[in-house]
Structure 1
Amino acid sequence: MAIRQEELSWWTKNSKVTIEQGGLSACLNLHESLSQEQELPALNYDCLVEYLRQNGVSFGVDMVACQQIVMNPRGYIGGKTRIAVGKEPINGENAQIEILIDNPHSQNPRVLEDGRVDFYNLGIVNTVLKGQILAKKTPLTEGIQGVGVGGASLMAKPGRDVRLPVGKNTHSSDDGLQLLAEADGHVSYNPRDNKINVFDVFEVKSDVDFSVGNIEFLGNVKINGSVLPGFKVVAAGNIEVTGFIDGAILEAGGDILVRGGVQMRSKGLIKASGTVRSRFMQGATVEAGVDVIVRDSIMHCHISAGRHVLMEAQKSVIVGGLVRAGEEVRTRTLGSPMATPSEVEVGVHPHLRTEMLEVQTRLKELYLHMDKTKKALALLDNMAGMANQLPPEKQALRQNLTHTYEHYQHEEEELMYRRSEIEVILLDTRNAKVFVSDVAYAGVKFTLGQQVTYLRDPQRGPIVYGITDGEITASRF
C-alpha cells in the first residue's frame, strides 16, 4: 500500500513518539487535543510503521499494538502505548574458580560430647598425588549484544577474568582451566594470597637441639619434641611441634601448630603466612598471615594476625602486651583486675600495609627500568632509520630490549592488580570487631581502624566493640 503524505502529516501533528529505557522501549502518545467528536481520517498500518521509522523506531515494533491503534485510534487518545520493545543485552558471566581441596584455614576444632574443644586432632594434613586436580576454572563469557528500538546495537559487558591459584609444585593445564599437582605431598591453600601450594614433609624424631641444629626446608616440618632456646626452624610449608617452643625462631610459609605452648621470655619469633595455633603464649612475638588461635592464655605478648585472634577455652584471657588483628579478636577476659596495660588493635592488617609499601617501591623501580629501556629502544629505532636496518649486533640488542620491556609490562600488570586487591581490603573496616564474653578491665586500649579509646572502668560482657558511623561503640552480643 502506498504511503500517503497527508496521513504521515496527520501522525506528525497529532501524536508523539518517545524512546525510553536507553533505547529499549518506544511509546506512542495521541494528543489529548484530538476531540472525541472530531472526525478522524482513515488510517493504515503501513503508514504508522513508516511514521515510527521516521521517528527512529525500526526494531521490535509491536504489530498487534499498531493494528489496534490504526483500527480504533479514539481508544488511545491521551494515552501512552508501548509500540516497540528492543532486545536487552545480556552481560557476560565472571570467570569462577572451584577449589577442589579442603581449606585447612576454614576447619574448626571439633567439639566433644562433654563440651570441651579438641585442639589436638585438627585434621590439618591434606595429602594430594601428582597429577591430581586441585582447582577448576569456568571461563568468563563475553555476553550477548542487545538491539535498541532504533536498530542500533546495545553493548553487553564482558565478564571479569580471574587467575588460577598457581603456587609451589602446581601448574595449570594446557587449556588453562585446571590446576594440577606436580608432586605428591601436603597441599595448602591460603585464600588471602590466592595460591595453592604442594609441599613435602621433613620430620624430626626428637627435640631441635645441638644434635639436630637449625632447620631450613622447602616443605613441611614436623618436630616430635620441643624447639630449644636459640635454634631456628624455617619451612616453606607448615611446622608442627608436639612439645614446646622456648626462645626460638620459627618461620613458616604455611601454618604453625604448637601442641604444647610458647614461652619466649621476650626472645625469638614465631612467624607464619597462615595460622598459628598453641595452647598458651607468654612473652612471645607472633606474626600470622591468617589467624592466631590459642586455647588458654596470651600474656605479655606482641601478637599480629592478618585476620583473627581467637581464644577458645572457657577461662581464656588476654593480658598485657599488644594484640593486633586484621578483622577480629575474641576472648573471655581482656586485661586484669590490676589494670595491667593491654592494647588491642583491629582492622590494621599490618602485613598487608607492609606488602603495599613493597609493591609501591617495586613499581617505582620498575618505572625507572621501563623508562631507560624505552629510551634505548627509541635510540635504536632512530639508528635503523626509514629502512629499518641495523647491524646484526644492534638488531640482537633491540630484540633483547623488546623482550625485556614486555617482561616489565607483565610485571607491572601483576603489581597493579595486587595493589588494587590490597586497597580494597585496607579500606574495609566493617569486620573490625573485639568480642569479650566475660569482662574487659580498665587499662585496656582499643584501636579500631583509625579510632582509639581507653577503658577507664571494667565492662562486663558479653560485649562487642566495633565501628559505627566512624566511632567505636560497645554493644551486647
Structure 2
Amino acid sequence: MAEESAAVVESPTEESPAQEQQLTLALSEDGRKLLASVSPGSVKTPFDLATLKQEIDAQGYGQLFLIDAALNQLVKQYASASAPFTLEIGEVRDAGVKVELAPDKMTAWISVTPPYGGTAVTTEQIRSALVEKQVTFGFLDEAIEQIVATGEATRQPVAQGRAVVNGEDGKLQCLIEMVKQRHPHFDEQGVADYRDLGGIVTVHQGERLMQKIPATLGEPGENVLGQTIPAKPGKEAAFAAQLKGALVDPQDPAFLIAEIPGQPLLVNNGMAVEPTINLATVDLTTGNIDFEGTVNISGDVHAGMSIRTTGDIHVGGTVEAAILDAGGDVVIKGGIIGHGEIHTHPDDKNRSMIARVHCGTSFSARFVENASIEVGDSIMVDELVMQSELAAVNQIVVGKPGSGQGRIMGGVAEATLLVQAATIGSPSGVKTRVIVGTNPYLHEKLRQAGKLLEAKSKELDEVVKLIKFIEDHPDRIKPEIKLKAENTFQALLDVIELARQDKDELTKQLELSVDAKVIVEKTLFGNVQIEIGGKVHWVDLQRSSGTFSLKEDEIVFE
C-alpha cells in the first residue's frame, strides 16, 4: 500500500508596525537646562540643524541660550542612533553685568549682556556689581536707569569721579594804564602801526604800580572709589629783587610802588621806573646828553650834539645834524634836517654833517632830510624823506596811508616787511633804492636768542641735578645752599621763558618777510631800484600806483 506525503505550508505571520524615531525637548528639574532626548526607531524623518531649531522654537524654547556644539552633536547622533540618549543643548541665562574701572579710577563702565530666558538686569544688580568693585562715589543714576530700560549696554559710564581743580598760580597785575612794552605788537597782517605813539606815561613817587594776586589752593577731587585726590596749590608770584626805581610797599607787601617819579616800564616779574629829564633845547649850553631814562626836549636839537638814553627821546621841534641814540622810541614833532649828503662810504666830514638816529623800537617824525636812521621796529614819516638812509626791522611808511601824501626821494629805504609811500623817486630821476624782504639783524638776533636759550637750558639742567642731590642728601648740604639753588632755579626759568618768547617773536617776523612788498599809492618815477628777497628790478619809466611783490622768484608790479 502506497504511503501519502503532505507538504505543510505555514501561513506568513503578521509584521509588527514600524516605530518612528522620537525627539523630546524638556527642561531639567531645576528649570535651568534644556535637554534633548532621542528614542531610536526604524522610521527616521529628515533631520538637520534648521529642523532642530524650528522644533526648539515651536516648543517655546527659542529664547534660551543654545549651545552650538551640542546642537551639531545632536544632529549627528540622531541619524545613527541605535539606543536612547539625552544631550544638554541649551540653558536659561540671566542678564550678565561686567564692571570696568579706568586706570585713574575716575570712571566706572558697565557692560550688560541681555538675558536668555532668564531675568533682565535690575538697578540693584548694577549697583551690587559696582559695590563689589568698591565703587562708592559718583553714580550716574540716569545712565543706570537707561541701561535697565534697554536691558543691555557696552562699556557705558555709570560712575564718574570729581576732577581735581589745581590751584591757579599767583600773578602780578599792572595798575598803570598805557604802559609801553618794549616789543612790537602785530595786527592780523603782521604789520605794526606806531604812527600814534602817544605821550610819555609818568608816575609819582609812592604811586602803586603793580599788585600781587595770591595763588589759590585749588579744590581736591574724588575718584569713584571715594578716594580723595589732593589739589596742587598754585605757585605764588613774587616781585623781582632790586627793581630800578620801584620797591615793595612797606605798608602792604602785596603792592609795588614807585620809589622815584618817572616813566614806568614793564620788566620781568615787576615794573621799573625810569627817571625823565626835561630840557628846553640841546645845544652847547647843555652839552651832550647821556642819560639812563627818558629825555623830553620841548625845542630843537642843534647840529653836532648827541643824546644817548636808555629810554625814549621826545623832541618838540627839529633835529639838525645831531646824533640820537635811544633804547626805546624816538618821536620828533618837527623833523630832521642834516647838513650833508648821504654817501655810501662817507668820510669823517660828511659823516658829521648828516643826522644820525638809532633807536630800539620805533621812529616818528614829520619829515627827514639828509639823515641815517636805523630802528628795531618801524619808521613813520608824515610828509617827506629826502636823500636819507632808512633801515627798519619791521616797516617804513611815509605819509598817512590813503591820503596820497608822502614821498621818498633819493637815498635808501630798507625794511623787512613793507615800504609804503604815495610817491617814490622824483621827476628829475634822482636814484632811489627800496629794499624789502631781507634783514640780517633779525637772523643774528634769532641766532643769539637760540644760543642764549640753549646755554640757559644747560645751566638749568645742572641746577636741577644739584637740587635733586640736595633732596636726596639733606644732611650733607647747608640750608643756605639749598635756598640759593632754588632761587637760581627760578631765575633761570624766568630767563628761559623770556628767551623763548623772544625767539618765537623773531621767528614770526622772519616768516612774515616772505610776503614783503613795496606799495606805491600814487606815482613811481624812473631810476628807482626795487629789491625784494635779493631780486632786483629797475624802474625806467614813470608809472602810476601799484604794489611790488615777489611771485615765483620774480618781482612783479601790479
Q: Would you call these one fold, judging by a TM-score over 0.5?
A: yes
Deviation at 1:143, TM superposition (A): 4.5
Name the counterpart of 1:87. 162
Name the counterpart of 2:406. 316
Change (3 A) 1:466 1:149: farther
Change (3 A) 1:180 1:76: same
Q: Distance in 2 between matches of 1:160 and 1:402?
A: 18
**8 A Cα contact 1:347 1:431, kept in partner:** no
Name the counterpart of 2:140. 62
Matches within 5 A, 1:5-404: 14-17=96-99, 25-31=107-113, 34=114, 38-41=116-119, 45-54=123-132, 57-63=135-141, 65-66=143-144, 69=147, 75-77=150-152, 81-90=156-165, 93=168, 95=171, 97-103=173-179, 124-141=199-216, 143-149=218-224, 168-173=244-249, 177-185=254-262, 187-189=263-265, 196-209=271-284, 211-264=285-338, 265=340, 266=342, 267=351, 269-305=356-392, 307-313=394-400, 314=403, 315-318=405-408, 320-324=411-415, 329-334=419-424, 338=429, 340=431, 342-345=433-436, 348=439, 350=441, 353-354=444-445, 357=448, 360=451
The residue type paired with residue 39 of structure 1 is G
Name the counterpart of 2:531. 445
Name the counterpart of 2:16. none
Query: Between Structure 1 and Structure 2, whose CA radius of gyration is higher?
Result: 2
Q: Distance in 2 between matches of 1:439 and 1:157?
A: 62
3-state SS in 2 of match to 1:245: coil
3-state SS in 2 of match to 1:428: helix
Q: Distance in 2 between matches of 1:456 and 1:434?
A: 15
Deviation at 1:419, TM superposition (A): 1.4
- RMSD of Structure 2 on Structure 1 (CA): 5.3
Deviation at 1:66, TM superposition (A): 3.4
Q: Normalising by structure 1, what TM-score?
A: 0.66
3-state SS in 2 of match to 1:127: coil
Give ranges in structure 1 of 5+ residues lacking alignment: 1-5, 107-118, 382-386, 390-397
Q: Normalising by structure 2, what TM-score?
A: 0.58
Deviation at 1:257, TM superposition (A): 2.2
Identity %: 20
Give ranges in structure 2 of 5+ residues lacking alignment: 1-31, 33-91, 183-194, 343-350
Name the counterpart of 2:185. none
Q: Distance in 2 between matches of 1:156 and 1:473?
A: 59
Change (3 A) 1:79 1:412: closer
**8 A Cα contact 2:318 2:335, kept in partner:** yes
The answer on 1:422 being equivalent to 2:493 is no
The residue type paired with residue 130 of structure 1 is Q
Deviation at 1:412, TM superposition (A): 3.7
Q: Deviations over 1:18-58 (max 9, x none)?
A: 66798655443333xx46xx332376645422423556855
Deviation at 1:167, TM superposition (A): 5.5
**8 A Cα contact 2:381 2:399, kept in partner:** yes
* Alignment length (residue pairs): 421
Q: Distance in 2 between matches of 1:243 and 1:410?
A: 46
Greater RCO, CA 8 A, separation 6+: 1
Deviation at 1:420, TM superposition (A): 0.9
